[in-house]
Amino acid sequence: MAVGTAAALLAALGGILWLAARRFVGSSVQRLHQGRDSGLMRGKTVLITGANSGLGRATAAELLRLGARVIMGCRDRERAEEAAGQLRREVCPAGGPDSGPNSGGAGELVVKELDLASLSSVRSFCQEMLQEEPRLDVLINNAGVFQCPYMKTEDGFEMQFGVNHLGHFLLTNLLLGLLKSSAPSRIVVVSSKLYKYGDINFEDLNSEQSYNKSFCYSRSKLANILFTRELARRLEGTSVTVNVLHPGVVRTNLGRHIHIPLLVRPLFNLVSWAFFKTPEEGAQTAVYLASSPEVEGVSGRYFGDCKEEELLPKAMDESVARKLWDISEVMVGILK
């Protein structure tokens, strides 16, 4: 009995040490990526959707450190202002982005209201951007809805497809003129490895015949990739690039609609701590695509962990990508 107990304790200790080592290595990787030139993005304006929490917040923090002027496009202005205040305190040691030479080289934060579940909100946001912003160097389509119960956007679209694809589709198209006039400029699209489990069903894009929250999320992420590749084709010769990424499995509030039994939560929390990325780690590829000279002129590619990765054939189907683009134009009202 004593031998068994000792063995169990040793196994537990070994597991704890292994987990601690893994987190240390992960932090080292994060520090490596954060060793960028602090002025790399100075003078550049970056728009990030869903920047008040999770990956978006972490991406905003890193680009702010690099000197960018970061526009946080968020649905809830109050929560966004709160997040912006926290970021200013964390990133700008002199008390804010307008603190002059003592601000440590950090950029500026601006909060604007943007609800991707409302096409009228997207249009109003873009109108404000075009009136107030002389340039836009980087657009990061980050915001997303993950495996929610069936619900519809203000315009009657299934929520995941409506927000993750259609809202960003309209946003990007309405800001293309500003991006082109600011060239060389970049568009970064956040997708997911789960695209592999999705398909584009043109007969039921709105999921009115059947709804599976996991499949619909995967479909929206596949749509992100098809959109990126078709947009890259259309932008050839403009000096505006667009690339898509998967951040890996990250500990964020994106999974708030997933129910985890109370008794299982401690184990889930331990597993997520050991195996999931922190938001800061998950944001590194978006920051890389938004700022690195290594991807200057690179377009239409799929990245993970700051490296290009291969796509499944269904994500490279040009005919599906073009058809999805054409239908999306009609759905959001670009074409009647």
Known catalytic residues are: 217
H-type alpha helices, 182-310: 213-234, 265-275, 279-282, 284-291
Overall size of the chain counted in residues = 336
Q: Rounded to whole angstroms, how far apart are CA atoms 313 and 1?
A: 56
Residues facing 150 on adjacent strands: none
Strand, helix or coil at 238? coil
Return the DSSP state at 273.
Answer: H
Strand, helix or coil at 250? strand
H-type alpha helices, 263-335: 265-275, 279-282, 284-291, 318-332
Q: Rounded to whole angstroms, how far apart are CA atoms 200 and 218?
A: 10
| DSSP track, 52-87 | TSHHHHHHHHHHHHTT-EEEEEES-HHHHHHHHHHH
* Cβ–Cβ under 8 Å, residues 90 and 138: no
Strand, helix or coil at 252? coil
Strand, helix or coil at 24? helix
Strand, helix or coil at 296? coil
CA nearest to 218, candidates 199, 203, 204, 246 = 199
According to DSSP, the β-strands at 307-308 and 302-304 are antiparallel
Name, in order, each residue with C-beta under 8 angstroms of 11's C-beta and a sequence gap of 6 or more: none
Report residue 175 CA to chain centroid gap. Answer: 17
Helix or strand run (H / E) with residue 243: strand 240-246
Return the DSSP state at 166.
Answer: I
